[in-house]
Structure 1
């Protein structure tokens, strides 16, 4: 059984909390193919890893801890990106409005944005002596072929070997990894769960990918589910901090939602 958890809200959809409880319910293994955090807005979380010479986020750490067996955050999340704010126009390599990419962890190695001024803590704590430095989009595309894609392919192979795997997407991206057939898809957002058949969801992703409106490989969840009828819907109740921090308590509160999903 392989399940996908995606979110229809770009921020705080509740994907990770839902996934952590689902892992407890299934006694399964969770994966987050891509993740990222911000050195400014997620500073405490970022420094927890960076101070150990590592780069991972709290979402991957929660999934690893809730999964059956012994897993590190890096094992369930092969690619993690560190951002930070870029006051002004946010121009430069992968420049987005008001933020820029600093470092990617790809497997156990690192890819560094040579056009960015890395924070001291990043330069002094991460093992970057053997990292790859890129300063242009073509260089990043080349490294994507050489380094990133092999890790995603290897993760897909590993997911297929698990009896009960749950894959969590990132942001509001509909499909975080290629080459996996999902039995069921859970789309979560504050207060609501929508359940979709995995095969129909995959077909909708393909149709959306070929849309003349948006040719990007990264499709937003709503552009996919707008093409589908949900198999089921369920109300999600708010959780206290104590409940969110305990997978078994999440499982108890969301048990009916997990039954609807399965």
Structure 2
């Protein structure tokens, strides 16, 4: 069984909290579970504590994948699991009043960590100034430096795309043996190529809409002009505008203490989780 959690809100859809509760709910069934976050990012300013914690270990990962792994198996050894389950992590930095290398308004990317078969590769924005702490903590001496969108695109073809394709294979295998849970990023409909999900939860504040995975995939391909012509980063609302959900569920707001406890989230949103699993099994 392969399940996708996608966000339908530009700011904070609540998909990580929803995915964490779903992981806890699936774990409680006793079947094998693997949770994945293909792409993620942190902001050096807004997520500074998380960045410093990871960089202090010579690593780059975010709290989302950490929460997923802890919900999946609270007592498991997570050594290296963050990078395996989240092979691409991008670090940003606010740059008020300027446009970043990728055309970002008021921020620019600093460095990507891409986990390959042979270990971590680093892609550094040569047009941006890296904070001193990152230069000393991360192994960037042999990093690939890019100074244009074209150069970054070359790096993505050589590093990012193969990393995601390898992760897609892991997701397919996990879904055959048990449950594979994938959390998307931003408002992106499908974070992995060539993975068909059995069911999808589109989450925004206060609501979860459940869709069959096959219909989700067809609608995405329609929105982009076909599977081969389509872009990976298609907004969730372009797909949800085409489809009626299998069911819709209210999500009540949770306290900070509840959000910090995966089992409490699993209990609060149990109806939505059970409906998602039912939709996946009935495909």
Work out the CA distance in 1 between the residues paired with 2:10 and 2:35. 20
Gaps of 5+ in 2: 28-32, 278-283
TM-superposed deviation, 1:216: 4.5
Determine if the alignment matches structure 1 residue 75 to structure 2 residue 84. yes
Q: Which residue of 1 aligns with 2:267?
A: 252
2:94 and 2:106 in contact (8 A); partners too = yes
Contact 1:32–1:169 under 8 Å retained in 2: yes
Q: Tell me the distance in 1 between the aligned counterparts of 2:132 and 2:199.
A: 44
The 5 Å alignment of 1:1-262 reads 1-27=1-27, 28-68=33-73, 70-71=77-78, 72-91=81-100, 93-107=101-115, 108-162=120-174, 163-210=178-225, 216-262=231-277
Encode CA deviations 1:150-195: one digit per residue, 9 max, x unaligned: 1101100111111201100011111111110100000011110100
Q: Deviations over 1:55-106 (max 9, x none)?
A: 0010011112222454421121000000011121324x21300000100000
Q: Report how many aligned residue pairs link the two structures.
A: 259
User: What is the TM-score when the length of structure 1 is the normalising length?
Assistant: 0.95
RMSD: 1.5
Could you list the runs of 5+ residues in structure 1 that have no partner in the other structure?
none
Q: For 1:100-141, what per-residue CA distance to the aligned partner results, in whole angstroms no more than 9, with x for missing partners?
A: 010000001210001111011111111111211111111111
Distance 1:61 1:109 in 2: 20
Native 8 Å contact 1:60 1:74 kept in 2:
no
